[in-house]
Chain A
Amino acid sequence: ETGVTQSPTHLIKTRGQQVTLRCSSQSGHNTVSWYQQALGQGPQFIFQYYREEENGRGNFPPRFSGLQFPNYSSELNVNALELDDSALYLCASSQVPQGTSGANVLTFGAGSRLTVL
C-alpha cells in the first residue's frame, strides 16, 4: 500500500509568480484535501476534491485553485504569490469526503515547503 506522495519537497518563488504543487493519494482513497501550515501553527483547510470536483473550501481566496484527476491525484495552484503564502503545504487523502463521517481520518503526505521572496 503506497502512502501519499507530494512534489516538489521544497521550492522558492518570488512575489507575483505562480506555483503548482502535486499530490498522489494513498491507494484506495478517493478524496484529497489540501492544507496550509504556517510555522508554529496547525494545518488550515484550503479545499477538498472528490470525484474530480471541489467539495468544500476554507477561507482562502480564489487565487488558490486545484484539480483532481481520474486516478485521484491532485494539484494545488496558487497565483499571484504573496509573501504570506510562505508555508508548508500538506496534501491529505481519505476514504470518504470530510463531513461524510466524523470517524474519517486523514493520511498526510510529507508536504511541500514553499518560500516566497
Chain B
Amino acid sequence: SQKIEQNSEALNIQEGKTATLTCNYTNYSPAYLQWYRQDPGRGPVFLLLIRENEKEKRKERLKVTFDTTLKQSLFHITASQPADSATYLCASNFNKFYFGSGTKLNVKP
C-alpha cells in the first residue's frame, strides 16, 4: 500500500522566513498530492493540490512542488507569520486517502 512520510520533528522558524516542509512517498507515484493544514483540536483544512505532471503550484504565499524522480513534494510558506503555526499534512489520493503523520510548524515572532 502507499506510504506517505513526513518529518515528525517540529520545524521552528523566525517570522518572515520561508518554511519548507517535506513529504516523501513510497511505492507508486500518486497522480495527485494534497496538502492540508490542521490546527489543534480541529479537522484538517485543504490548502493545495498538485498533479503529477505539474512541477510547481502556487497560491498566495504558498508553493508546492512535486518531484517524481525523488518521490517527494515540498511545501513552502514564504514570509511566514505566527498565524501560520499549525500542523501540515501531506496526502495522496488513489483508491483512498493516505495521510502522512504531519509536520508541526512553529513560527516565532
Q: Does A4 sit at the interface, judged by CB under 8 A?
A: yes
Alpha-carbon distance between A4 and B102 when the two chains are bound, in angstroms: 22
A42 touching B96 by the CB < 8 A rule? no
| Known contacts A42-B89, A43-B99, A99-B96; A108/B43 CB under 8 A | yes
A102 touching B4 by the CB < 8 A rule? no
B96 touching A109 by the CB < 8 A rule? no
A42 to chain B, nearest CB (A): 4
Q: Does A106 sit at the interface, judged by CB under 8 A?
A: yes
Interface secondary structure of A, over-half rule: loop
* CB interface residues, A 84-117, toward B, < 8 Å: 90, 92, 98-99, 102-111, 113
A-B pairs with the 5 shortest C-beta distances? Answer: A108-B43, A42-B99, A102-B32, A102-B31, A99-B95
Binding site for A on B (CB under 8 A): 4, 6, 8, 30-32, 34, 36, 41-46, 49, 51, 89, 91, 93-102
